[in-house]
Amino acid sequence: DIQMTQSPSSLSASVGDRVTITCRASQSISNYLNWYQHKPGKAPKLLIFAASSLQSGVPSRFSGRGSGTDFTLTLSSVQAEDFATYYCQQSYSNPWTFGQGTQVEIK
Amino acid sequence: EVRLLESGGGLVQPGESLRVSCGASGFTFSGYGMSWVRQAPGKGLEWVSAISGGGGGTYYADSVKGRFTISRDNSNNTLYLQMNSLRADDTAVYYCAKESSMVQTSFDFWGQGTLVTVSS
């Protein structure tokens, strides 16, 4: 199985800060990498697919980069509604696997 | 508008069975693969099982293989997860998720989840 490792596990940020979350795959997954946002009690939301493609309706302050084993999700200017947990997920091979999550908290 | 609504969660004892369902609307259900993803208390997301649009292909995580069965009724736009021999570590919120139409799989819509608690 492909292991996905995110860093950091949590971070504190102020509104307006630039935030970057890293995701590393245990083997090359090309660009088969998706990012999700999850808030407590809510349905997870797809933000980025194929490493860098913005899902319809997602604000342009979210961006994704990377290929192979190393990927990043960047929030260019964090807004109040962005405080949540973020997960990467590989779709290169079954079983699909998620990173352990990065909790973005208000400083 | 795509809607996914899970139901059927509840409290069961270890070793018992439970079936959870996911009603879908707002898209051509038979045209898309579907998955179940769970989140145990205080833990992250874990993919559990997937099924192809026609139902002919099914896939399972090792943690549930042989105990869980995914199925779908395309005439009623409903996805199912039959869970047998439940264990305490199966306690989680179970989400159904629609796969996107892209070549690369992603989960573009999710339900709100249904809580399954396995405890004596």
Per-residue pLDDT reduced to its tens digit, B7-36? 999 999 999 999 999 999 999 999 999 999
DSSP-based three-state secondary structure for B30: helix
Q: Which residues of A33-58 are buried (b: 16+ CB within 10 A; e: fewer)?
A: bbbbbbeeeebbbbbbbbbbeebeeb
For residues B97-116, average pLDDT: 92
Residues 6+ apart with CB under 8 A from A50: A31, A32, A33, A34, B102, B104, B106
Cα separation, B5 vs B100, in Å, equals 18
Per-residue pLDDT reduced to its tens digit, B47-73? 999 999 999 999 999 999 999 999 999
Check CB contact of A103 with chain B, cutoff 8 Å. Answer: no
For residues B80-86, average pLDDT: 98
Residues 6+ apart with CB under 8 A from B65: none
Place of tokens 């949540």: A84
Report pLDDT for A82: 96
Which residue among A34, A43, A97 places its CB closest to the CB of B95?
A43
Count other Cβ atoms within 10 Å, centred on residue B93.
19
Report pLDDT for B3: 98
> What is the average pLDDT value for chain B, to the nearest integer?
97
CB contact under 8 Å between B59 and A95, yes or no, is yes
CB contact under 8 Å between A89 and B35, yes or no, is no
Q: Is the peptide bond before A8 cis (omega within 30 degrees of 0)?
A: yes
Nearest-Cα residue of chain B relative to residue A49? B106
Among A47, A61, A48, residue whose Cα is nearest residue A18: A61
Report pLDDT for B104: 82
Give the closest-approach CA distance of A3 to chain B in angstroms. Answer: 12
Residue A3 CA: distances (Å) to CA of A6, B53, B95, B99:
10, 27, 21, 21
Report pLDDT for B102: 74
Report pLDDT for A38: 98
**Residue A51 and residue A33 in contact, taking contact as beta carbons nearer than 8 Å:** yes
Cα separation, B23 vs B20, in Å, equals 10
Backbone φ and ψ of B72, nearest 5°: -150, 150
Token code pair at residue A106: 């208000």
Q: Show the low-confidence residues of chain A (pLDDT under 70).
A: none
**Residue A61 and residue B27 in contact, taking contact as beta carbons nearer than 8 Å:** no
Q: State the pLDDT confidence band at B103, using cuts at 50, 70 and 90.
A: confident
